[in-house]
Amino acid sequence: MSDPQSGSSSQYEQSGVSSRGAEDALSGLLEHVLPTRKFAERFPLAADIGYFANVIDVGNGLGIAFGTDGVGTKIIVAELMDRYDTIGIDCVAMNVNDLICVGARPVSMVDYIGCSFTDARIFSEIGKGLAEGARQGEISISGGEISQIKEIIKGVDLIGACIGSVPLEKVNTGKDIQPGNMIIGLASSGVHSNGLTLARKVLLGETREEQEKNVNKFEERLGRTLGEELLEPTRIYVKPIMEMLDAGIDLKAMVHLTSGGYSNLNRVENDNIRFVIDPSPPVPEVFKLIQERGKISDAEMYEVFNMGTGFVVIVENMKEIAEVTAICKKYDIASNVIGAVEPCQGKEVTIPEHGLVGKGQKITSA
C-alpha cells in the first residue's frame, strides 16, 4: 500500500477518537481499580488487566473467564441504514472473540442497551442479531438491561459482557511463545467493529446529511453499497478455535485483532520477542478505499484497522500449521502463515513491507 501524507499525525483523532487520551484516562482509572484485587483474595485473578479477558480462580482448578465490549459507532451505520438485524452479531463477536484468547470456552452473555427511545421493531431486530451471534458463538444470552437515558444517549448503544470456563492449568496468555514460532492469520470478514468513526467519515462524509445520502451508494470496487460493506458482521472465531484446542493443538497464543491491529500481539505475557509480519497478507478492497479517500498513512491504517486479519494463532511447527489450516478451511475461513517470532530486546511487532514498528498499542514508521 502507499503511504499518503494527510498533513495530520492522526486522522483518527481528527474524526473524534483520541488514542492518547484513552491511554491517559485508563492510567487514571487503573490507579484506583488495580488495588481492588485485595478485596476478593479468595478468588484471585489469573491474568493482568489489559489482556483480552481475565480469569477468576473459583477453586478446584476451575477458572471463570470474563470480559466486556460493545459495537462502538458501528451502531450509527445501522441507524443510517435503518437496519439493526446484524449489529447483535457484532456485540457477541467482540465479546467471545476476546474470551477465547485466554483459552476459555464462552458460555453466556448479558447485553446492555442504552437508548433515547424504545421501538419494538428495532429492538426485535437487535434481538435477532444477538440470537444469531449466540448461535455462532455457542453461548446463551442469559439476561440484559434496557436503560432509557435520552439525556445522555442519542439513539441506541449496544454493549455486552460475557463469561466462559477454562481449567486454570490451561489459561493461555502467551507466556510460552518462543523465537521460531510461526504466526498464522485468520481472515476477517471486513472492518469488524473497530475504526468505524474514521471509516464512516472517510467513506460516507463528515455530516449526518452526507452520511444519510451516501450510505446507500453502490461502490463498484466493493460490489455492494458502502453501508452494506461497513455493516458486514464481525466474524466469530469460537468454533474453529475451540476445535483446535479440543484437538490438542499446542496454540502458544491466540490474539484477537481489534483496535490497534497487529499491535494487539504485544499484549501477550512473554517479553523479549518480536512478531515479524512477513509476508504482509493481502489487503481487502475496503481498506484500500478508506486509505485512498482519506489520504491516511500506512502507520495509522495498521493501527486503527485489522487490515484483513481478524484473529491470530501462534504455533511451533509445520504439523500444527497444517492442522490449523485444515480446521480453518472446514469453517470457510482463509488462513495463512503471515510471519514468525524472533528474539528481541523488549517486545514489538514489525511489518517490514511497509516499514512499520508497533510498540505497545502504537504503530509508527520505522
Q: Enumerate the β-bridge partners of residue 253.
A: 314
- Per-residue pLDDT band for 62 (boundaries 50, 70, 90) equals very high
Q: What is the pTM of this model?
A: 0.93
Q: Is the pLDDT of residue 28 over 50?
A: yes
Q: How far is the C-alpha of 105 from the C-alpha of 96, rounded, in Å?
A: 9
Over residues 8-30, the mean pLDDT reads: 69
Ramachandran sector of residue 355 (left: φ over 0; alpha: ψ -120 to 50; beta: rest)? left
What pLDDT is attached to residue 26? 80
Closest-CA residue to 341 (of 98, 176, 100, 170): 176
* Distance (Å, whole) CA 214 – CA 199: 13
Residue 56 pLDDT exceeds 80 = yes
Class of the domain covering 42-170: alpha beta
The CA–CA distances, whole Å, from 363 to 214, 283, 298 equal: 31, 17, 9
**What pLDDT shows up at residue 49?**
83
CATH 3.90.650.10 occupies which residues in the chain?
A: 174-365
Residues 6+ apart with CB under 8 A from 68: 95, 159, 160, 161, 162
Q: Is 15 left (phi over 0), alpha (psi -120 to 50) or beta?
A: alpha
Tell me, what's the pLDDT at 144? 96
Would you state the pLDDT for residue 21? 63
186-212: pLDDT as tens digits: 999 999 999 999 999 999 999 999 999
Average pLDDT on 64-74 reads 96
The structural architecture, per CATH, of the domain 174-365 is Alpha-Beta Complex (3.90)
